[in-house]
Amino acid sequence: MGGAFDTAVESAWCPGCGNFSILNAVKKALERTGKGKHEIVLVSGIGQAAKLPHYVDANVFNGLHGRALPAALAIKMANPSLEVVVTSGDGDLYGEGGNHFVHNIRRNPDIALFVHDNQVYGLTKGQPSPTSDPGWTGSLQRSGVISGPFPPLTVAIALGCGFVARALASDVEHTAEMMYQAIAHKGFALVDILQPCVSFNKKNTYEWYRKMAYRVPQDHDPSDRQRAFALSLEWEERIPVGVLYRKERPAFEEVHPGVGDPPLHARQTPEDAIRALIRKRVLDLP
Amino acid sequence: MGIDINIRITGGAGQGVHTAGGLISRMAVAAGYHFHSTQDYMSRIRGGRNSYSVRMMDVPARAGRADADILLALDPGHLPRFLPGLHPKGLALSDTSIVGEMERVTAAPLKELAVSAGSPILGNMVGAGIVAHALGVPSSTMDQLLALEFRGDFLEKNRKAVRLGSEWASGRLTEAFRLPPAPFRPRILLAGNEALALGAVAGGCKFAAGYPMTPGSSILLGLSTDGPPLGLVFEQAEDEIAALNMAIGASYAGARAMVATSGGGFALMAEALSLAGMLETPVVIALGMRPGPATGMPTRTGQEDLDFAISAGHGDFPRMVLAPGSVKEAYALAFHAMEATEAHQVPCILLTDQYLADTTVDVGPEDLPVLPVRRRIVRGAEVPRNADGKYLRYALTENGISPMAVPGEPGITIVVDSDEHDEEGHLTEDHGIRVRMEGKRARKEEGLAADTLPPLLSGPPDGEAVLVGFGSTKGVIAEAREILAREGVSVAAVHLRQVWPFPTGAMEEILSRYGTALTVENNRRGQLARLIRRETGRQVAGTVSRCDGLPFTPEAVAKEAKERLWAAHSTRR
């Protein structure tokens, strides 16, 4: 191939895994940004999906399970000129990291979030994830999942996420397009990527996703929050793929006092300024 | 004996105990004296029983005192609780019009005068006016001090309340507590947590995050107040887990970063602490201790997290744990923490507690040395590259420390992973690399040990006994030692300002010079005593322990130390 972001690192994924398509889409989307590898930071948590950053020649922060977003937020705050992309799994981002998912949508940092949503925990060998369909039997739920599924797009729209999209891992071009738009969006952008797990999810297969998925209608106005909300609720009969909701609002870095140029690593601590800070505290009487 | 006057104000939350205590502290400075103030408050927003003690001295004050010379009870209902702590020659003031006359209590019309001044909530200021008179602080000085805090109509009301209190006291109260004239010195009134935050800012901290938790919150307040003019960015995290992961992310991007919390929040941070160990990311964690387990006593003090601080986090990794013993040391060690965490690329914990957090003293600008910040990030041509032109974040080096570059550096990428990783930072399951990386991380311990701050010894260089403490007990132990010396008991005192890596050699040497060692600890089980035994093989003779949620007082430490030393000596005979 010889793409700009290719690496020689050996992959740890199963043959036929949806992650390969997602990796190709990530590289395509990054190439379209025209940015250099040193300007991009890929952040992930733990899981098979979370290994993706290692297979891209860019800056990598592969942190703890569930904690990709807090690290990503701070990297963006420390240096807003970096393109920060979080790419990790559904268990990682919706389960273990659910609280950070909620609160970073509220903050609205200019971060693109790609969730490899295969509705199963792969690396730990087949337990249900927050998005598993009710009734699905996992290795720890032999009689089937009884909890309702976590609806990521619905939650994101409810929280006012400015870019909410869904993609099918098998459709690399469209996934790359969604990813590129998410990166280009100024503010927090979610792309939930339906991804088959060939080893542990025998229900939500390539075939099943292809059968269920349909493109968001051309006449859908992505700024129509009510309609986007309704679309996001579709799952049982058919699953809309594409941009469901889009609305710009000021990004966190733009409104946070203090975040901006120069990046934090370049900020000085002049001794005179510290002395002035100390002097200011002196209780003196005229 | 010089001047030593302890003034205690008590009342419910919302009655202005804190405001009056702050004003009386400033009175001490205005009169040319030193002070040491401590707070004891309940976990609530209104009501309850809080106290604020201001000890005025003609020498720098290092600790609070158990007994009060002047007791100002804004709520007379608290008198039964606080009167036993009044010095036999002390003065107790309260508005007893509601509860009727009480023995030893001077009835003061706080409420009536407050209403005359313009608001019933000004009883605290009427009381402060009475105290001002008792100390001989003139009204003009009080007017100046009040102008530092209030503005407009409210300033005038406060001034009037203070003046009415002072006038009422004039002629009614003796001048037993009149402060002899002393030259005024401009001073800084600084609390432990304020000093800690200031030291971190002086140490170049540029990113701070946290989730409010007493007694860590006031560090966050300090960072978010003093930091922004120096380029620090602060973010309130959704939880403590996010806070530390954020700080680690910021540090990866090249910012000096810190978080502040208490035991429960630190427990949530344990996994990220281990991450900092694995990523070798510099980060400072301020841990304000309070009594546990679990929620424990949220607003009270304790030293129960020593074991936890030195062992929290899964896996083996080097760290530093510093334990400031005074307001000045909180500043100095916070600065040191910022420098050392980056120099050694290990997480650094600053172990403080509610007592030190809320202790306010007067310091001079010379007590807060301003030192150059030395960044160790490699940039541009300094960035080492291998034969393939790659930068290796985890390059194997002799001292275990790999040059740290930050993302954005053209031509290279910075790869970090919580999994075991190779020199480049990529995930590996190679056992040989694993062993080499463990070795690299472990080698940093040698540098850490060499840079360990030695314990501070005061008193006779050898002798019968030595008292050993860490962190906030420094001043109390120093005074206890002096009390014992006056009583003819010669003991030395050792203050550990760094508890990890443990200064093993220095402690072995010190302990070998004294017959008996006692630890003084704000916990029940003697965590420091056990640490000393583990690291030096030496068993101390006992522990002066307090675990009721309150700080030690010098008198109590001296008394119990004497008893324990006596018991230890009898046993030896």
Cβ–Cβ below 8 Å for A273 and B229: yes
Nearest CA in chain A to B31: A285
Q: How far apart are CA B255 and CA B572, in angstroms?
A: 56
| B-chain residue closest to A282, CA distance | B188
Task: Answer yes or no: do B413 and A103 touch at CB < 8 A.
Answer: no
User: B199-215 burial, b for 16+ CB within 10 Å, e for fewer?
Assistant: bbbbbbbbbbbbbebbb
Cross-chain residue pair B250–A273, CB shorter than 8 Å: no
Residue B252 DSSP SS3: helix
Calculate how close chain B gets to A78, using CA atoms only, in Å: 6
HSE (CB half, 13 Å, CA atoms) of B326? 20
List the one residue out of A165, A183, A242 whose CA is nearest residue A29.
Answer: A183
Per-residue pLDDT, averaged over A220-241, amounts to 97
Closest chain B residue by Cα to residue A279: B365
pLDDT score recorded for residue B176: 83
A82–B377: do the CB atoms touch at under 8 Å?
A: no
Q: For residue A20, is pLDDT > 80?
A: yes
> How many contacts does A have with B, using Cβ atoms within 8 A?
207
Q: What is the DSSP letter of A217?
A: P
**Are the Cβ atoms of A257 and B243 closer than 8 angstroms?**
no
Q: Would the pLDDT of A249 be above 90? A: yes
The confidence band for A3, taking pLDDT boundaries of 50, 70 and 90, is: confident
Partner A contacted by B361 (CB < 8 A): no
Secondary structure (3-state) at A88? strand
Closest chain A CA to residue B252:
A75
- List the single residue in B188, B206, B252 with the smallest CB-CB distance to A281: B188
Residues B284 and B269: their CA atoms lie apart, in Å, by 12
Q: Which of A62, A108, A272, A275 to mutate to test the interface with B (most CBs of B within 10 A)?
A: A62
Q: Which of B376, B417, B422, B428 to mutate to test the interface with A (most CBs of A within 10 A)?
A: B417
Our CA-based measurement puts residue B43 at a distance from the nearest CA of chain A, in whole angstroms, of 27
* B23 lies within 8 A of chain A by CB: no
Distances (CA, A) of A156 to A49, A94, A244, B116, B228: 21, 11, 11, 57, 32
Share above pLDDT 90 across residues of chain A, in percent, rounded to a whole number: 93
The answer to whether the CB atoms of A60 and B416 lie below 8 A apart is: yes
| Residue closest to A67 by CA, chosen among A104, A37, A41 | A104
Strands B68-73 and B86-94, sheet pairing: parallel
> Cβ–Cβ of B249/A286 closer than 8 Å?
no
- Closest among B352, B320, B325 to B336, alpha carbons compared: B320
Cβ distance B207 to A78 less than 8 Å, yes or no, reads: yes
The dihedral of CA B334, B340, B345, B347: what is its sign? negative
Inter-chain residue contact B368 with A278, CB threshold 8 Å? yes
Where helices occur in B456-526 by DSSP H, the ranges are: 474-486, 504-511
Interface residue of B185, B239, B245 to substitute, partner A, most A CBs within 10 Å: B245
In terms of C-beta density within 10 A (0-12 exposed, 13-18 middle, 19 or more buried), how is residue B59 classed?
A: exposed
A contacts of B365 (beta carbons < 8 Å):
275, 278-279, 282
Residues of B in contact with A261 (CB under 8 A): none
Cα of A261 to nearest chain B Cα, Å: 10
ipTM: 0.98
Contacts of B279 in chain A (CB under 8 A): 63
In chain A, the residue whose alpha carbon lies closest to the alpha carbon of B233 is A258
Identify the burial level of A93 via C-beta atoms within 10 angstroms of its C-beta, where 0-12 means exposed, 13-18 middle and 19 or more buried: buried
| Mean per-residue pLDDT, A43-58 | 97
3-state secondary structure (DSSP) of residue B474 = helix
User: Domain A18-280 belongs to what architecture?
Assistant: 3-Layer(aba) Sandwich (3.40)
Q: Which residues of A touch B198 (CB under 8 A)?
A: 277-278
The residue in chain A having the minimum alpha-carbon distance to the alpha carbon of residue B29 is A283
Order of all β-strands in the sheet with B4-13 = A282-283, B187-191, B360-363, B34-40, B47-57, B4-13, B68-73, B86-94, B105-107
Is B509 in the A-facing interface, judged by CB distances under 8 Å?
no
Would you call B182 an interface residue with chain A, using a CB distance cutoff of 8 Å? no
pLDDT in tens, chain B (573 residues): 699 999 999 999 899 999 999 999 999 999 999 999 999 988 888 888 999 999 999 999 999 999 999 999 999 999 999 999 999 999 999 998 877 888 899 999 999 999 999 999 999 999 999 999 999 999 999 999 999 999 999 999 999 999 999 999 998 987 789 999 999 999 999 999 999 999 999 999 999 999 999 999 999 999 999 999 999 999 999 999 999 999 999 999 999 999 999 999 999 999 999 999 999 999 999 999 999 999 999 999 999 999 999 999 999 999 999 999 999 999 999 999 999 999 999 999 999 999 999 999 999 999 999 999 999 999 999 999 999 999 999 999 999 999 999 999 999 999 999 999 999 999 999 999 999 999 999 999 999 999 999 999 999 998 889 999 999 999 999 999 999 999 999 999 999 999 999 999 999 999 999 999 999 999 999 999 999 999 999 999 999 999 999 999 999 999 999 999 988 888 765
The CA-based dihedral angle spanning residues B243, B249, B255, B258, taken in that order and rounded to the nearest 10 degrees: 20
Which residues of chain B from 409 to 428 reach within 8 Å of chain A, CB to CB? Answer: 409-419, 425-427
Pairwise CA distance, residues B437 & B279, whole Å: 11
Is residue B330 within 8 Å of residue B510, measured between CB atoms? no
Identify from A43, A51, A55, A64 which residue to disrupt to test chain B contact, counting B C-beta atoms within 10 A and taking the largest count: A64
Shortest CA distance from A47: residue in chain B: B419
Inform me whether the C-beta atom of residue B190 falls under 8 Å from chain A C-beta atoms: yes
B229 part of contact set with chain A, CB < 8 Å: yes
Residue among B184, B186, B249 whose CB faces A72 most closely: B249
pLDDT tens for each residue of A25-35:
999 999 999 99
Q: Tell me which of A92, A274, A279 to substitute to probe the interface with B (most B C-beta atoms closer than 10 Å).
A: A274
Nearest chain A residue to B410, by CA: A38
B141 vs A contacts (CB less than 8 Å): 285
Count of C-beta atoms within a 10 Å radius of residue B470:
28
Does A54 contact B427 at a Cβ distance shorter than 8 Å?
yes
Q: How many CB atoms lie within 10 A of CB A166?
A: 25
Which domains are seen in chain B, by residue range? 4-169 (3.40.920.10), 190-367 (3.40.50.970), 456-572 (3.40.50.920)
Region A46-55: mean pLDDT is 97
Question: Any bridge partners for residue A60, and if so which?
Answer: A42, B415
**Spatial CA neighbour of B112 closest among B95, B99, B125:** B95
The residue whose two tokens read 């009480």 is B102
pLDDT band at A1 (very low <50, low <70, confident <90, very high): very low
In the predicted structure, residue A244 carries a pLDDT above the cut 80 = yes
Query: For residue range A64-98, what is the model confidence (pLDDT) as tens digits?
Result: 999 999 999 999 999 999 999 999 999 999 999 99
Nearest to A274 by CA among B371, B186, B189: B371
**pLDDT tens digits, A124-159:** 989 999 999 999 998 888 889 999 999 999 999 999
How many angstroms separate the CA of residue A144 from the nearest CA in chain B?
A: 31
Q: Within the 375-404 window of chain B, which residues sit less than 8 Å (CB to CB) from chain A?
A: 377
User: Which residue among B186, B247, B413 sits closest to A58, beta carbon to beta carbon?
Assistant: B413
DSSP B217-247: HHHHHHHHHHSGGGT-EEEE-SSHHHHHHHH
Is the CB of A282 less than 8 angstroms away from the CB of B415?
no
Question: Residue A38: which of B229, B242, B409 has the nearest Cβ?
Answer: B409
Please check whether residue B100 touches A, CB under 8 A: no
- Chain B residues whose beta carbon lies within 8 Å of the beta carbon of residue A39: 408
Residue A13 predicted with pLDDT over 80: yes
The sign of the torsion formed by the CA atoms of B511, B512, B513, B517 equals positive
Q: Do A74 and B248 touch (CB under 8 A)?
A: yes
- Helix, strand or coil, per DSSP, at residue A12: coil
Q: Are the CB atoms for A40 and A59 separated by under 8 Å?
A: yes
